Structure 1
Amino acid sequence: MVDDKIDRDLKNKILSLVANLREGQKQLALWKGGKMAVSAVPGAGKSHGLATAAAITIAKNKLHSNRQLIIVTYTRSATASIEKKVKEILTQELKLLPVGFSVQTIHSLAVNIANRYPQLSQLEMENRTLTDINSSHPLIFDTVNQWVKNHPELYELLLKGEKSLSDDESELLQRESILLNDILPKVAYNAISIIKSSDLTLNDSFYLPNNLSNPYPLMTIAKGLYEEYQELMIKQQRIDYDDLILSALRVLKHDRAREILQEEVFAVFEDEAQDSSPLQEKLLEILATDTQNNQTNFVRVGDSNQAINSTFTSADPKYFRDFCHQCQENNSFYTMNQAGRSCQIIIDTANKTLTWVNNKIKAELVNKKVDDISSLIPFENQEIKPVIIAENSTNINPQSEGKGLEIEYPKDIYQTVDLIKAKIIKLWDKKNKEKLENFAILVRENKQGKFLYDYLKDLEKTHNLKVKLISDTDSYAKIPQEILSLLQFLDSPHSSQYLRKTLEIVTERLNLNLEDITSLSIYPEKFLYPTLIDCPQNEQVIKIKNECIKLLQARLELAPYQLIIFLSLALKYDQLELATVQKLNERIKQEIKTNISLKSIIDTLKAIVNGEKFKGVEIEDEKSYQKEGQLTIITMHKAKGLEWDYVFLPFLHENIIPGNGEGYMPKNASFIGKFNLADVTRSILRSIVHHDKLDQKEMSIDEASLENNYQKKAEEYRLLYVAMTRAKKLLWMSSAKKAPWRWGFFEDNGNKSQLQDQAPCPVIIALS
């Protein structure tokens, strides 16, 4: 009798929770089993819906520590947020103990499985170094050098290219430098990330088809680079993040281990499913399978229209789209399309953008007679709708500020700043006497953010509005590598490779403009100490050369242990970065203790960089980006998941969004061909993995270039869509008539001759 009353009370509490949810959220909360896909538009309350559904599932099924709901997401901050929400609902709303669930990142889940069965996983975490690989990691350069050594005939083929080599030694050195430092590291990284994050790696041996009509055997090159990388990883006792997933899958191949793990998992809920890879999906699906009835209890929530990482990571929205279509056929697909974040005009603007872009791209692809159009269309046809006002509704759509959407065409980037500043001051003075609100300027590139910050930071003094600049990458992430590269240059200034790295770092950190780094780094002596018979250097090259000579002079004048601090000051590190350098310096002193020499510092730094064990001074969490009474300048990528009252989107130009779809090509790389070798390799591999074309011929370079261009354009349009949907009350967009052609080479010295006529982003024209 008492138990019946408890069940009735719990049932009523669950019904009350469900009643306060929106459509879409309700369907998620009412899930009873099997596969389900939920596509959630920006601002739909996805996290709240997922946490509520999780708590209800735990309560209904009386889950406990030996029978759990596993919730998986892709960032640590997201896991902490979801765990907190589930616990609050269980304890405060349902009056239950916060047990029966686990919130983990996909990689922490994989590690837990692998460590539980070390003999099956073969992971050996205590003897291996977990390494976060990118295209500039030293291991990638080692991979390339090893591949060149073991495949000289393929390297010679690339070196020869489509344009015959002359007898000029400098041309040969230039081609070698471009191949070894630019092209092949990017090809290697793309090949490794695609091959390793797909089902291809589950086979002990695999082959990749080559198209004999292509000038290079790209898939042979890709596989060769992957195999060299794997050998180096084993030799150096390293593992990467894909190895974590693969080790967990090795455990799940074992019948008894798999059954034990499946018995402990009631279901799997996955958040941000659009960022998943084939291996990750495979792992979660196996875990979610019920051993008794062979039913897969797998709920995936995401939005492929907000997939903004697929052109530089192994994530791919295709897999979540495919899962949604599969669930649609089984009547288990739902949408969260009511969003309470934005005012109506901003919702209408986002919807119009989505439809217009899809129609534009579709028309272009039909014109080009592309067969598989659907895979290159940027967006799923999903309309954002305002929240239907019901009793006890909260977080409903706000009223717009003025028109809610403002589009400007300033004469140049300097007038853009003036217009933004005037608008912010007007809003701040008008609105915030009663209630503090927040502002954000979202930019496509870090250098745009720095340019804006320099002109707007005085708002803090003049109007008591805090101005915060957020870099796209964590401040400490590349500091050890930068310091190492500069010290290697100081130790071996005659090295072309070390000079090249130093030029890249100095030009980026000091905002200097230098386009042709490759040519200057081929002959270090000529660059640093030119003679009368050498070609005269222009003013910009002389300026950068002098910076490099200052560094070399410090090598002669300072003790080795003083060099790191000197370098950080020379590069004008900010306060947080300087704190990180201080921490790094202390770590090096602890490691060396006695006999501090430049060589010992370099060796210690190498171990730190390669070991991935150094953690810098922690940055603030995402809440600090949305503080009231603050203007946050942040990149569009980093803004995902955040929101502000007033959002400004300046510098919307066609050459940036959507761009021409082609990746950056190093100067003088045309000998390879009129295409980006790394991007083409990536597209061909994706096509093989997507369509299981191992038994078919490789697509041509022309087809791969076209596909790559449209994939990149699609992602740029999705990035703009994400940026637009961060705004609550006002969305301000602009396209200056004159702007830098490439922001990476722009130096703000007041010289407007650097600015060129720029066409606006096509979306701005359509919205106007």
Structure 2
Amino acid sequence: MKFKPRPEQKKILNYSGGMLAIPAVPGAGKTTVLAYLAAKLIDEKINGNQKVLIVTYMNSAAANFRKKIGDFLADRGRPRSRGYTVKTLHSLALGIIKEKPEARLINKEFELVDGGQRYSLIRRISGIWAGKNRDRLMDFFDLDQNYYRFNEYADKWRQNDFPDFVSTMISYFKLNLISSRKLKQITDQIDNKKFKLLSWLAEIYEEYSDRLAADGLLDFDDLVQHSLKLLKEDSDFCQRMAEDYKYIFEDEAQDSNRAQEEMLYLLAGSEKNFVRVGDSNQAITGTFTMSDPEIFRSFCSKDDVSVQKLTMSGRSSRDIIDLANYLVRWSTEEFSDKGFSPLEERYIRPVPEDDPMPNPVPDSYKIGSRLFKTWEMEAKFLARNSVRMAEKNDGKTVAVLMPAGYQLEKIGAEINSMGFEYQITGSSSGDNYFNEIEVILNFLTYPHQKDKLKMLFREIFYKEEEEKYLFSKNIIDSNDVRSLIYPDAGLSCNNFSGEIRRNKFFNEFYKNLNRIQGWLEAASEIPPDELLLFIAERIKLEGKKLAVVQNLALQFSRLLNQHPAWRLDQLLGEMPSLKDRLKHFIVTLNDLDGFEPAADKVTLSTIHKAKGMEWDTVFLGALTSDQFQHTEEDYFRSEKFYLSEEIKNPEAAAKAQLEEILKDKFAKNPEVKARQEIIAERIRLIYVGISRAKENLYLSAHQKQGKKWEKEAAAAFNILDQFIDNAEKNWRNKNV
């Protein structure tokens, strides 16, 4: 794998030990640099069984790291998979717990619940609590009972927003190592009238923890909480774990949280060979996760940390780089007297013209912007023009990036109406992984039903072979299913008329009947979990589909242990919930493959999910004031207007209450800080969107949606629109 490092990259590759921070601009090649450095250290510095540990945010990034490190090691004549391990935070934490589960009083057979299962459980528990404590829950409800939408918002609070709040806070408690027992002890000693929110949370958190423990379950936050406590409470165990790793690398350090940072410090041991790379200007998850960009900023400012910046990027054209840098400059000046800083004053530099991966050089100024009167007009424009770019068939990629998922649905519908295809980043419908196995299980459960047998032939044997399917369908329609598969005289070609036997499709049809007979016999002789694996082998499932069926077999086995008398029909009745349980597993499988934009389709993505990706052309839409706030007086979607002033942002209020109790630090207006964090993160979101574009970029906004809802373009859109207008005029004047 050829890699010619730039001068600033060479400085990083001279690293041999100690703590190193690498602030990197978008498109600076940080993954390649870290992978090359890992291979170099493995080749030159590591002896014995020690490894380089790379911790990254996404499974797809982990797969990318493994490939690149393997390629660089192969170039050095080293084995591709030796000397390093790449993990996400949760897989690292799981490995630590499995080393010593008894120390945390965890059953060795514990099972992980994914995000969907976790939220469903929290929602059920919160609903039961709300039903028993309706008056308490409505204490903060601030709408007049005569208001015509009172019941609508009361239900929204009880059924949706309150469970969301509880879910967020339980994560917050766990990642700050506050167990349900500890929170209960805290609230038992305080004035519950003053700290109502914490008292409610303590009761629900306790019930949630008890439910998990009773069923032998852990959620992903438990992994981090228990593994960190294990490292902190057992110094000998911590030292043994740290001895496994000579170097610790953390990717996407701007998305780190306090628990992750503390865990990696502990694993770095006494040598503290700790390398962290990130870009606080791309920190866009803090308002809905526990990540905090201040963690990486603080690390960069430590006296014992060396800092090597990656400021050169070959991803985007110089014009797009200028626009991104202008946003940084404007943000720095605009918020300098407001007590917070959305973007650090770090500017992207283009690479030298002789660089092996130079910046794109468009033949004209390829940045545009437009303000539309309505959302409908903007959506049609984005759909029409993204399709126009994709239809050029020039091998270039096109994406439409939006702040919210529901906006993509509208644009997708517009693209479909034009007869064109689109793809969505991060989409992972699990149904296609279950199609074959569900069709077969349905037939084996109800083998006497003709429609189940016909579906078997259509989906398993003759998919996209219409003539063969119609031949089999006619035979099935003309016969009793039992006599067709299990005739009294036994299955034989002679059971069919001469006309049918002479048909060119008969031999294959007859062979499939024999296969079905074998499946039915297996279903009567072996347990359902083994039957799944038997069928997967017979229909030659492989890759991700086989992995999903193997996982499904484990779920069947679990249910059969709980309900030994269950038959196949009862297990099949559980398929909707089992598929829900496997969602996270399927998402992980898809993440491992990563996402590759197709040049013949329009990619639709939220800006959040576009992070780490790039396209030749990017349309960045809906840059409106309700999505990208500018002042603390703006409308904030995350706030609950129907609640009283002190808890319009319940998460901010609860965190402030906890801080007041634990640190004796009273926060006068916690919602103000929360609003500032949102403003900062939304500006960073625009920065991320801009820096996804390589050659062409179009920004858009709209003024209103519907007849009653009034909105305007975001302040950031207005200043970028003006910059684009001036830059385009300057380009034209230079090229007249």
Length-normalised TM-score, structure 1: 0.69
The match for 1:28 is 12
Q: How does 1:393-412 map to 2 (within 5 A)?
A: 393-400=355-362, 402-412=364-374
Counterpart position of 1:699: 667
The answer on whether the counterparts of 1:183 and 1:678 sit within 8 Å (CA) in structure 2 is: no
Residues in 1 aligned to 2:301 and 2:181: alpha-carbon distance in whole angstroms: 28
Instruction: State the 4+ residue runs in structure 1 displaced beyond 6 angstroms.
Output: 168-176, 208-215, 477-480, 587-593, 600-604, 610-614
Root mean square deviation, CA, Å: 4.2
Name the residue aligned to 2:490: none
1:730, distance to aligned residue in structure 2 (A): 1.2
> C-alpha deviations, 1:276-324, integer Å up to 9, x for none?
22111111111111xxxx3211111111111111111122222122212
Which whole-Å CA distance do the structure 1 matches of 2:20 and 2:58 have between them?
22
Determine the structure 2 residue equivalent to 1:758.
Answer: 711
Corresponding residue for residue 33 of structure 2: 49
Distance 1:33 1:624, change over 3 A: closer
Deviates more, 1:420-429 or 1:718-727: 420-429
What's the offset of the Cα at 1:410?
3.3
Contact 1:450/1:469 (8 A) holds in 2: no
- Please list, as runs of the form range in 1=range in 2, the aligned pairs for 1:413-424 lying within 5 A after superposition: 413-417=375-379, 419-420=381-382, 423-424=385-386
Could you tell me how far apart the structure 2 residues matched to 1:80 and 1:317 are?
25
1:284 partnered with 2:264 = yes
Contact 1:650 1:733 in 2 (8 A): yes
Distance between the aligned counterparts of 2:189 and 2:352, measured in 1? Answer: 55
State the distance in 1 between where 2:330 and 2:274 align.
34
Q: CA deviation at 1:338?
A: 0.7
Q: Match of 2:686?
A: 720
Aligned residue number for residue 106 of structure 1: 89
Asked if 1:265 corresponds to 2:245, the answer is yes
Residues 165 and 650, structure 2, Cα contact 8 Å, conserved in 1: yes
User: Which residues of 2 match residues 410-489 of structure 1 at below 5 A?
Assistant: 410-417=372-379, 419-420=381-382, 423-424=385-386, 427=389, 432=393, 435-457=394-416, 467-470=421-424, 474-476=428-430
2:52–2:85 Cα contact (<8 Å) kept: yes
Distance of aligned partners of 1:133 and 1:661 in 2 relative to their CA distance in 1, 3 Å threshold: farther
- Cross-structure match for 1:197: 175
Question: Any conservation in 2 of the 1:114–1:248 contact (CA below 8 Å)?
Answer: yes
Task: Name which of 169, 172, 185 aligns with 2:163.
Answer: 185
Partners of 2:306 and 2:408 in 1: CA distance: 43
Give the structure 1 partner of residue 616 of structure 2. 645
Deviations 1:341-385 (A, max 9, x none): 00111111111112212332344x3xxxxxxx2xx4212221111
Structure-2 separation of matches of 1:411 and 1:757: 11
The runs of 5 or more residues in structure 2 that have no matched partner are 435-543, 723-736
Which residue matches 2:342?
Answer: 378
Distance 1:204 1:665, change over 3 A: closer
Secondary structure of the residue that 1:653 maps to in structure 2? coil
Query: Counterpart of 2:713 in 1: which secondary structure?
Result: coil
Q: 5 Å matches for 1:648-667?
A: 648-658=619-629, 660=634, 662-664=636-638
Q: Give the whole-Å Cα distance in 2 for the aligned partners of 1:674 and 1:478.
A: 47
Cα distance between partner residues in 2 of 1:424 and 1:614: 33
Given that 2:425 and 2:603 are in contact with CA atoms closer than 8 Å, whether structure 1 keeps it comes out as: no
What residue is the counterpart of 2:77 in the other structure? 95
Deviations 1:169-212 (A, max 9, x none): 99997786444313431221121111111244599677479998
- Look up the SS of the partner of 1:469 in the other structure: strand
Match of 1:69 among 48, 52, 73: 52
Structure 1 gaps, min length 5? 1-12, 366-372, 462-466, 481-575, 741-752
| Secondary structure, counterpart of 2:308 in structure 1 | strand
Match for 2:648 among 668, 676, 681?
676
Could you say if the C-alpha distance between residues 635 and 613 of structure 1 is closer, same or farther in structure 2, counting changes exceeding 3 Å? closer
Question: Alpha carbons of 1:410 and 1:91: their partners in 2 closer, same or farther (altered >3 Å)?
Answer: same
Per the alignment, residue 219 of structure 1 pairs with 198
Alpha-carbon distance in 2 for matches of 1:606, 1:141: 16
Q: CA deviation at 1:639?
A: 0.7
Write the letter of the residue equivalent to 2:64: S
8 Å Cα contact 1:209/1:696 also seen in 2: no
CA contact (8 A) 1:75 1:105 kept: yes
Decide whether aligned partners of structure 1 residues 183 and 233 sit closer, same or farther in structure 2, where only a CA change above 3 A counts: same
Counterpart Cα distance in 2 of 1:378 and 1:764: 15
Task: Write the distance in 2 (CA, Å) between the matches of 1:185 and 1:416.
Answer: 34
Work out whether 1:275 is the aligned partner of 2:255.
yes
Are positions 1:141 and 2:91 aligned together? no
Give TM-score, length-normalised by structure 2: 0.71
1:637 alignment partner AA? H
Q: Give, in whole Å, the separation in 2 of the partners of 1:72 and 1:341.
A: 24
| Residue in 1 that maps onto 2:323 | 349
Distance apart, 1:713 and its partner CA: 1.8
Question: Within 1, Cα distance between the matches of 2:148 and 2:409?
Answer: 37
| TM-fit CA distance, 1:459 | 5.9
Q: Letter of the 2:656 partner, please give it.
A: I
Q: 1:474 to 1:760 in 2, by over 3 A?
A: same
Change (3 A) 1:324 1:693: farther
Please report how far the alpha carbon of residue 698 of structure 1 lies from its aligned counterpart in structure 2 after TM superposition: 3.7
Call closer, same or farther: CA 1:97–1:171 in 2, change over 3 Å.
Answer: closer
Residue 758 of structure 1 aligns with an amino acid whose one-letter code is K
1:22 maps to a residue whose letter is R
Give a deviation string over 1:202-253, Cα, whole Å, max 9, x none.
9967747999899653333344433333222222322111221233234423
Query: Are the counterparts in 1 of residues 379 and 411 from structure 2 also a CA contact under 8 Å?
Result: yes
SS of the equivalent of 1:144 reads helix
Matched, 1:316 2:300: no
The Cα shift of 1:421 comes to 5.7
Contact 2:169-2:651 at 8 Å conserved across structures: no
Equivalent AA in structure 1 for residue 712 of structure 2: A
